[in-house]
Chains A and B, each alone.
Chain A
Amino acid sequence: MLAVEMRGITKRFGNFAANDGIDLLVEKGEIHCLLGENGAGKTTLMNILFGLYRADEGVLKINGESVTGHSARKAFQMGLGMVHQHFMLVDALTVWENVVVGNEPGKFAIDRKDSIRRVQEISDRYHFDLNVTEKVSELSVGMKQRVEILKTLYRGAEIIIFDEPTAVLSPPEVLQLLDIFRDMKKQGKTIIFITHKLNETKAVSDHVTVLRAGKSLETVATADVTVDSLASMMVGHDVSLELQREPSRPGETVLELKNVRLLPNAQSTVSMEIREGEIVGIAGVEGNGQKQLEELILGFQKCREGSIYMMGDDVTRWSTRKRCGKGIGYIPSDRHQRAILPGFSIQDNYLLGNQFSPEYVKNGMIRRKFLHERTLELMKAYDVRAVDEKQSAGSLSGGNQQKMVLSREVGKDTRFVLACQPVRGLDIGAIRYIHEILLDLKKKGKGILLISAELTDILQLSDRIAVLYKGEILAMRKNEDYTTDSIGLLMAGQKGGQ
């Protein structure tokens, strides 16, 4: 019996086929992985399944029933549920309130007792370990995710789609989530698990469908494939994930933090220094002070406690403008918010952050010719693919926007580079390319602070690693002094992870 049957699904946006004849067959009661790089068409396909987009071609059947005139409303009725990457919860409400909202039991007033009982019962059945009268704002990220799952279960979903659910979790939380998957499967639910992480795919799924460039490859039984073969199916050619990292030769200190408080309720302050010719990695699950660290260094936030030094100068009270004058190559974690002017041409985007450099602007007048040449040079060197330099930056693909930002920041003559989540949203090929660039910068003697939620990034690139948890540095050691396990435990806040 097939829970979901999608055959020959094609969806075009203009001339671009996001889905090109995709087949997806999901059996009832299995865990089915949808594996693919960013841009492979996973999200589009799921939006079609969920009735948010209409396919241009193809057949869609849910529980053997052919679906026409599909809508999100109908999807709910047919027993589909989706757990989004970004939670849709009201922090100020309790768990049960979040779960029943929109479907409250009781005729006129909400039947509070009955609601709590029903929600708690579902939670217990799947061993969610939740107290449903607790406020959502009190919960950890992993627990909030369970509330999201609870919402779909409460509405009677039989087929549940998880969109990249592990991206926001610490390694131990990931394991717990996979256990929940197995539990749900045992109780007869069908799970579609969207991911680009190979280990998780291998660990939990029954079948895997790999998507590549909008097309589906054949569906395979997970037991028959290895992680390496999945990787090459996903990318389309063999990939080596190993990188050569040269030993660091640290020079002068480029950035130093002294007793800086990242989060108001952190138990201790943070001190560290980054020297020329080394990469210092900040490991940790997102939301443990990474954003604050980034903003404090750039001066978007006022530093209320402690001091910050750049190349020997105390910049604690300096404006962003003045700090930029010191020379910072800055790859922000949120590139759309902090690094891109979407309506401007690519060329004008290359001016951003360089407009105070005498090379680019002389006597207040932009040197158009220099800017033009430099733009073409950097676009070529970093393979930014566009029609031409006058195309608007907003119309570039995510990967190309990333390369544009990276080449601009790296192209600056600075001694310090702050790289925040530099590989977020990129495919394996692009990730490798960015890794190489960062290692090359280190070789050239720049000091790099790397903040990344991807543990593999941190382990492959960093000379020294600090683990950030709830605004504190739990450990700051040489890369060699960690194991994957010990760093995973530290990321989950267990100081004993030796």
Chain B
Amino acid sequence: MEQVKERRWIPLVNNLVVSAAAVLLSLVLSAVIMAIVGYSPAAAFSAMLQGAFGSANSIANTLGKSVPLIFVGLACAFTNKGGIFNIGCEGQLYMGAFTAAITAIALQGMPRMAVILLSFGAGMLGGALVGGFNGLLKAKMQINEVIVAIMLNYIMKFFTSYWVNGPLQEEGSMIAQTASVGEENMLTKLIPKTQLTTALWIALAAAVIMYFFFARTRMGYNIRAVGENALAAQASGVAMSSTIVLTMAVSGAIAGLTGVTEVFGKTGKFVDGFSPGYGFTGIAVAVLGRNNPFGVVLSALLFGIMEAGSMKMSYVAGVSTSMINVMQGLVILFVATPNLVKFLNIGKGGK
């Protein structure tokens, strides 16, 4: 009995072990690659850590880089729980950022709190509409969500691009961007002159809310049930189409927040093409975090550390910043192949 009793912890521990092992393996393999090419892995890693944790400001920037990844990772994890793959976060976050920015610009002069709340609401709504539309096509017409999402990514990116290259471009600016949402409306910086703002608290709150949503609410349960076994969920009375649309819409809203917090925390305006592919990194973050909201926070932090340390790594150790992409790619490779990790006998307790 004792022996079997441990079993229920195994999935959780196993997930952690597999993710940790994947990270470890990717670091080792990256080190080997760097050594082969002729760099010193030790120097590169220490430079990376220096860059990420060297000073209070660098820690703040590391966290600042993690924030969008937390949001977008949560967005991907949300649909993954429901058995849907949301590759459309990129388009959703552009739309979110755009609607939030134009809302804020339209509301200039109103109290700060009102501007922030309404803009955030508009941004979430923008993302939710894009995601929900994607879900609607899947639910009602059985169109593969992945293909539609990839198309929508382009449409959203170029739709917003059109506006800031034309009618809504900031007056007198050479850059394709909107007017400012107003210095006074920006999120409060936790450490001055860094990119770390109260968006961090919003991101963490989103993770906690998402955890409880799935653990405690009927809606969360229904979404998980559809993800686990759609036929059984249907037989139990879950309305399939509306659940799919809702799942995609909520995910889109969270993805929208990624864009909103970038605008209100960093740039202060909608800048054309501002996302370095967050939407796609988010998929990796969710996979590494095993779709657990807290796991997503941890893996977003890891990705944030890599991003933040990459610059220093490149000018101290001479290793190209692309090495970070290699590392991230390897992490995903190892996480996506848990059997490989098990084969190497690191994840004990698997079948």
Contact = CB atoms under 8 A, between A and B. Distances in A.
Interface of A: 298, 300, 319-321, 323-325, 330, 332, 337-345, 348, 351-353, 355-356, 361, 364-366, 368, 387-388, 390-392, 395
B193 interface: no
A345 B4 CA distance: 15
Contact of B237 (A320, A343, A366): A320
A387 B237 CA distance: 29
A341 B237 contact: no
A339 B239 CA distance: 16
Nearest to A391: B8
Nearest to A366: B216
B188 interface: no
Contacts of A342: 228-229
Interface string B1-41: 10011011001000000000000000000000000000000
Contacts of A319: 239
Interface in B232-263: 232-239
B219 interface: yes
Interface in B183-219: 216-219
A298 B1 CA distance: 40
16 contacts: A325-B237, A337-B231, A339-B232, A340-B229, A341-B229, A341-B233, A342-B228, A348-B221, A364-B218, A364-B219, A366-B218, A368-B216, A387-B4, A387-B5, A387-B7, A388-B5
A338 B232 contact: yes
Given A364-B218, A366-B217, A341 B5 contact: no
A53 to B, nearest CB: 15
B5 A332 contact: no
Nearest to B230: A337
Given A341-B233, A344-B224, 19 more contacts: A300-B235, A319-B239, A320-B239, A337-B231, A339-B232, A340-B232, A341-B225, A342-B229, A344-B225, A348-B221, A351-B221, A352-B225, A353-B235, A364-B218, A368-B216, A387-B1, A388-B5, A392-B8, A392-B11
A355 B221 contact: yes
Contacts of B237: 320-321, 323-325, 353, 355-356
A432 to B, nearest CB: 27
Contact of A352 (B5, B219, B232, B239): B232
B30 to A, nearest CB: 33
B61 interface: no
A352 B218 CA distance: 10
B234 A365 contact: no
Contacts of A352: 225, 232-233, 236
B160 interface: no
Contacts of A298: 235
Nearest to B212: A365
Interface residues of B, number: 25
Given A361-B218, A365-B218, A390-B8, A337 B238 contact: no
Contact of A365 (B11, B217, B229, B231): B217
A185 B82 CA distance: 54
A344 B237 CA distance: 18
A320 B218 contact: no
Residue from the set B4, B217, B221, B222 with the largest chain A CB neighbour count within 10 Å = B221
A320 B217 contact: no
A305 to B, nearest CB: 23
A320 B232 contact: no
B235 A330 contact: yes
B234 A300 contact: yes
A298 B237 CA distance: 9
A323 B236 CA distance: 10
Given A341-B228, A387-B4, A320 B235 contact: yes
Interface in B123-163: none
A338 B228 CA distance: 11
Contacts of B7: 387, 391, 395
A355 B8 contact: no
A388 B2 CA distance: 12
A338 B239 contact: no
Given A319-B239, A325-B237, A353-B236, A337 B229 contact: yes
A39 to B, nearest CB: 18
Contacts of B219: 364
A339 B235 contact: yes
A122 B218 CA distance: 61
Contacts of B228: 341-344
B8 A388 contact: yes
B13 to A, nearest CB: 14
Contacts of B225: 341, 344, 352
A471 B237 CA distance: 27
B80 to A, nearest CB: 13
B212 to A, nearest CB: 9
5 closest A-B pairs by beta carbon, nearest first, are: A324-B237, A353-B236, A341-B228, A338-B235, A361-B218
A365 B219 CA distance: 9
Contacts of B1: 387
A388 B238 CA distance: 27
A298 B236 CA distance: 10
Given A351-B221, A387-B1, A337 B8 contact: no
B208 to A, nearest CB: 16
Contacts of A300: 234-235
Contacts of B5: 387-388
Contacts of A344: 224-225, 228
Interface centre among A340, A341, A345 (most CB of B within 10 A): A341
B221 A366 contact: yes
Contacts of A392: 8, 11
A323 B8 CA distance: 35
A250 to B, nearest CB: 27
B10 to A, nearest CB: 10
Contacts of B217: 364-366
Contacts of A338: 231-232, 235
A321 B233 CA distance: 10
Interface string B102-113: 000000000000
A324 B218 contact: no
Contacts of B238: 321, 355
A13 to B, nearest CB: 9
A275 to B, nearest CB: 24
A353 B236 CA distance: 4
Contacts of A324: 236-237
Contacts of A339: 232, 235
Contacts of A387: 1, 4-5, 7-8
Contacts of B224: 344
